[in-house]
Chains A and B, each alone.
Chain A
């Protein structure tokens, strides 16, 4: 049996057998990776906290017939400041949930991996930026090839009067092209979304709080439309 090295960010894990867990990671070169960590649920496990959600790790894997088994883990970053702030946990969980939904197994995911790593770094090292999740959602749409068109009408290419957002058309629409059901955008929101989508996720421009909430709402519905599922993480503290 072969031994191989890989790297990844832990997306989630679930119990497997008596004391094992299946650890699902996002690897830059191999996309979504399902691996087994044996005995990890025991307090004395040598893996300890290294395979907790959000951890960035180097792995030594023993290739199995179905799932590879983790034989060694070294921690590159635990992003441990995320865990001490509930809003950061929700933001990180949202990013991880999206990454989990769009990543494929056995397919490289370098851009998605880098985006997720930079998103987690930003959460860990700075105050929570109100547009961080919005930026992540828009950028992950771009990574999988469905970036919303934000600078011109998705129908005719006009650059003026972009007052509607159509999830089906994949971007903004002008007044002439607007279709029934297209979401009405407040004056300035289109430009705001475009600015957030274009910015470096680690260097987001200063937020305008009058737009942040609505921008997140549009980005969230756009991603949910494409994933054909609700983002569970974002709904957790809604109630």
Chain B
């Protein structure tokens, strides 16, 4: 193997998502040749991330304060909650500029096969917010996977009895795409979810 400090870095890098053994080696040897100032900046930005960033106490978005900027924004509509699997889904939905409510990050999706049930997600925190914030509608913006769908179904089962309207993102064809390139599963769902004109 390599000298201990090199090997240690390779091992650490290889634990990152999407980085295999080969890529970790390539990155480590690249880092071996960068300026010391660059190395310090990279190292401290990782440490700062851990020190300064935490989860919003209300919605579990990432923030450097007690609450995230969306939760603190008084112009946002507190009666509509968009429920997402991960915090990184929030900027994607924000990018649409179509949503003006607040968010709730579950921290994953229900996956029976992996043994991930509602108890491992932030469901209890969600239920607590319904009353506290006067939530009238919950939008399930989970991934269009078996797990994401199961999570949306569970949200409906959990929240409808509380008088909350539960909706799910429509799923269908990618805008700008060609119908004959669509797969049957996607097209089938687009058909089921068709809209009156």
Enumerate chain A interface residues (CB-CB to B < 8 A).
Answer: 11-12, 15, 17-18, 43-44, 46-50, 52-55, 75, 78, 80, 83-86, 89-90, 93-94, 96-97, 100, 230, 232-239
The 16 sampled A-B contact pairs (Cβ below 8 Å) are A50-B184, A52-B145, A53-B113, A55-B185, A75-B185, A78-B185, A86-B154, A97-B112, A232-B112, A233-B115, A234-B112, A235-B117, A236-B116, A236-B117, A237-B117, A239-B118
Which of B20, B110, B183 gathers most chain A CB within 10 Å?
Answer: B183
Closest to A73 in B: B183
Give bound CA distance, A237 to B151, whole Å. Answer: 11
Q: Which of B116, B144, B183 contacts A47 (CB 8 A)?
A: B183
Bitwise interface map of B from 137 to 154 toward A, beta carbon under 8 Å scored 1, else 0 = 000000011100110011
Q: Which of B110, B154, B183 contacts A49 (CB 8 A)?
A: B183
Give bound CA distance, A235 to B13, whole Å. Answer: 35
A8 → chain B closest CB, angstroms: 16
B63 → chain A closest CB, angstroms: 26
Q: Which of B113, B154, B181 contacts A46 (CB 8 A)?
A: B181
B184/A89 in contact, CB under 8 A: no
A239/B117 in contact, CB under 8 A: yes
B112/A94 in contact, CB under 8 A: yes
Bitwise interface map of B from 81 to 113 toward A, beta carbon under 8 Å scored 1, else 0 = 000000000000000000000000000001011
Give bound CA distance, A90 to B119, whole Å. Answer: 15
A101 → chain B closest CB, angstroms: 11
Q: Which of A52, A84, A236 contacts B115 (CB 8 A)?
A: A236
Contact residues in B for A15 (Cβ distance below 8 Å): 17-18
Contact residues in A for B153 (Cβ distance below 8 Å): 84-86, 89
Contact residues in B for A97 (Cβ distance below 8 Å): 112-113
Contact residues in B for A84 (Cβ distance below 8 Å): 149, 153
A17 → chain B closest CB, angstroms: 6
A82 → chain B closest CB, angstroms: 8
Give bound CA distance, A28 to B152, whole Å. Answer: 33
Closest to B18 in A: A18
B114 adjacent to chain A (CB < 8 Å): yes
B186 adjacent to chain A (CB < 8 Å): yes
Q: Which of B116, B150, B177 contacts A89 (CB 8 A)?
A: B150
Contact residues in B for A89 (Cβ distance below 8 Å): 112, 146, 149-150, 153
Contact residues in B for A49 (Cβ distance below 8 Å): 144, 183-186, 189
B161 adjacent to chain A (CB < 8 Å): no
If the complex has contacts A43-B174, A48-B185, A49-B185, are A236 and B110 also in contact, measured as CB distance less than 8 A?
yes
Which of A52, A80, A86 gathers most chain B CB within 10 Å?
Answer: A86
Give bound CA distance, A237 to B115, whole Å. Answer: 10
Q: A12-B113, A237-B117 are in contact. List 18 more A-B contacts (CB 8 A).
A: A15-B18, A17-B18, A44-B177, A49-B185, A49-B186, A50-B185, A52-B145, A78-B185, A78-B188, A80-B188, A83-B146, A84-B149, A84-B153, A89-B146, A90-B112, A96-B113, A235-B117, A239-B119
Contact residues in B for A86 (Cβ distance below 8 Å): 150, 153-154, 157
Give bound CA distance, A86 to B114, whole Å. Answer: 16
B20/A52 in contact, CB under 8 A: no
